[in-house]
């Protein structure tokens, strides 16, 4: 094979990038924008995407991008795809490293990655280039591999050099103490992490899952969450604060399982992740902490759901 060149995206690459996604994923890729070359060019032109390519003499063989929301300081490393003829050459790793070196130029303090769990390659690659796995997103998107179950995702976080995202310096409940102390050792702690007071209460539907964003889970809101339809698959993001132990206890009583953390918008802060109603499945995950979170979810979800139904 001709030696590959790694370079930034050019407007003339749009059609070849779109064709690469079609060759690898057919018509089932979860991000529909890649099927419109004009959208690929538009995103790169307006700064929403920063795409990096691996090319040979004839075609685009690999693609990855930083997807940036200008209202947030967190960027996502995503849209990674490698042509089957070029796999096994660490192309995704090389593209990702190149992009991480440029994340600071976008004003980003953190980069996140959503690691698929259908295979271990993305998880191993993310760990190799410096991502720390922080949470599990069960049944997150329709499978990009044409599987009947939705794809469960592992969240990873990479801190851009010169920036920090500490966790609150609080006692952690025994049920998750080891995991939370591990994250504290990675990201550090701070006694005065600011509140996410600008984050409003939200509820949205994504495919068959409902997402709720909560700053403070008070008694009145907890009762409203309890009354939501029992058959809903619900993912809740709750501000990680000194009230974490209380939120963990109350949501556990409603059939939710704690599934880790994810960075919150803004320069500081985290959301604690909770999930109710996961589909039964067996996964072998690269990170032992993520494996434990998944196992706990699988072990607890169905008995708790049954108990709620019988109440």
pLDDT at 34: 98
Expressed in percent and rounded to 5, the helix, strand and coil fractions of the chain are 35, 30, 35
CB 187 within 8 A of CB 159: yes
Q: Which domain holds residue 135?
A: 5-159
Question: Do 153 and 181 fall within a single domain?
Answer: no
Q: Which long-range contacts (CB under 8 A, 24 or more apart) does 37-45 make?
A: 38/14, 40/9, 40/13, 40/14, 41/11, 41/14, 43/67, 44/9, 44/11, 45/11
Phi (first) and psi of residue 97, to 5 degrees:
-60, -45
Query: Alpha-carbon distance 212 to 203, whole Å?
Result: 4
Q: What percent of the chain has pLDDT over 90?
A: 80
58-83: average pLDDT: 92
Q: Measured between alpha carbons, how far is residue 37 from residues 10, 14, 30, 54, 124 in Å?
A: 12, 5, 16, 17, 30
Residues 232 and 194 in one domain: yes
Are residue 154 and residue 171 in the same domain, yes or no? Answer: no
Same domain assignment for residues 207 and 134: no
Do residues 144 and 177 both lie within one domain?
A: no
Which residue in the block uniquely carries the two structure tokens 């801190």?
159
Overall domain count for the chain: 2
DSSP state of 95: H
Judgement on whether residues 93 and 62 belong to the same structural domain of the protein:
yes
Q: What are phi and psi of 258, to 5 degrees?
A: -75, 130
Structure-block tokens of residue 21: 């996604």
Final residue before a domain boundary, out of 138, 159, 180: 159
Among 116, 134, 159, residue at a domain's last position: 159
Give residue 57's pLDDT.
Answer: 86
| Residue 70 vs residue 292, higher pLDDT | 292
Q: CATH code at 62?
A: 3.40.630.30
Taking the CB of residue 37, how many other CB atoms lie within 10 A of it? Answer: 17
Q: How far apart are CA 188 and CA 182, in angstroms?
A: 10
Contact 211, 203 (CB under 8 A): yes
pLDDT at 83: 96
| Higher-pLDDT residue of 159, 70 | 159
Give the C-alpha separation, 227 to 212, whole Å.
14
**Are both 241 and 205 inside the same structural domain?**
yes
Q: Which of 159, 192, 210 is the last residue of a domain?
A: 159
120 and 189 housed in the same domain: no
Q: Say whether both 105 and 234 belong to one domain.
A: no
Provide the 10 A C-beta neighbour count for residue 253. 13
Dump pLDDT digits (tens) for 251-273.
999 999 999 999 998 767 999 99
Q: Give the mean pLDDT of the chain.
A: 92
In a shared domain, residues 86 and 184: no
- The pTM of the full predicted model, rounded to 2 decimals, is 0.92
The predicted structure's pLDDT at residue 289: 98
- Termini Cα distance of the chain: 64
* DSSP-derived secondary structure letter, 45: H
> Is residue 154 located within the same domain as residue 172?
no
**Do 82 and 37 touch, CB atoms closer than 8 A?**
no
List, for residues 160-178, the tens digit of each pLDDT value.
999 999 999 999 999 999 9
If asked whether residues 117 and 197 sit together in one domain, one would say: no
Residue 47 is predicted with a pLDDT of 93
The angle at the Cα of 56, spanning 55 to 62, to the nearest 5 degrees, equals 35
């Amino acid at each position: 094979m001709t030696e590959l060149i790694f370079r930034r995206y050019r407007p003339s690459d749009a059609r070849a990038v779109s064709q690469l996604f079609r060759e690898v994923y057919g018509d089932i890729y979860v991000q529909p924008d890649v099927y419109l070359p004009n959208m690929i060019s538009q995103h790169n032109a307006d700064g929403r995407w920063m795409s990096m390519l691996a090319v040979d003499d004839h075609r685009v063989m690999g693609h990855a991008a930083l997807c940036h929301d200008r209202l947030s300081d967190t960027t996502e490393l995503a849209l990674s795809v490698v042509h089957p003829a070029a796999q096994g050459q660490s192309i995704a790793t090389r593209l990702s490293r190149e992009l991480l070196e440029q994340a600071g130029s976008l004003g980003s303090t953190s980069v996140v990655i959503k690691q698929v769990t259908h295979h271990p390659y993305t998880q191993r690659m993310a760990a190799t280039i410096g991502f720390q796995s922080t949470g599990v997103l069960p049944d997150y998107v329709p499978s990009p591999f044409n599987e009947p179950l939705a794809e469960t995702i592992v969240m990873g976080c990479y801190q851009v050099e010169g920036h920090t995202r500490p966790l609150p310096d609080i006692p952690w409940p025994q049920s998750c103490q080891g995991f939370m102390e591990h994250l504290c050792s990675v990201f550090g702690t701070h006694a005065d992490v600011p509140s996410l007071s600008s984050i409003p209460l939200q509820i949205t539907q994504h495919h068959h899952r409902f997402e709720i964003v909560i700053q403070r889970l008070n008694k009145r809101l907890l009762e409203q969450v309890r009354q939501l339809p029992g058959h809903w698959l619900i993912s809740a993001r709750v501000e990680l604060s000194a009230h974490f132990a209380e939120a963990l206890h109350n949501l556990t009583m409603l059939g939710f399982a704690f599934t880790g953390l994810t960075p919150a918008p803004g320069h500081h802060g985290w959301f604690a992740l909770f999930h109710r109603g996961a589909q039964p499945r067996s996964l072998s995950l690269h990170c032992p902490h993520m494996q434990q979170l998944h196992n706990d979810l699988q072990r607890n979800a169905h008995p708790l759901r049954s108990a709620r139904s019988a109440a």
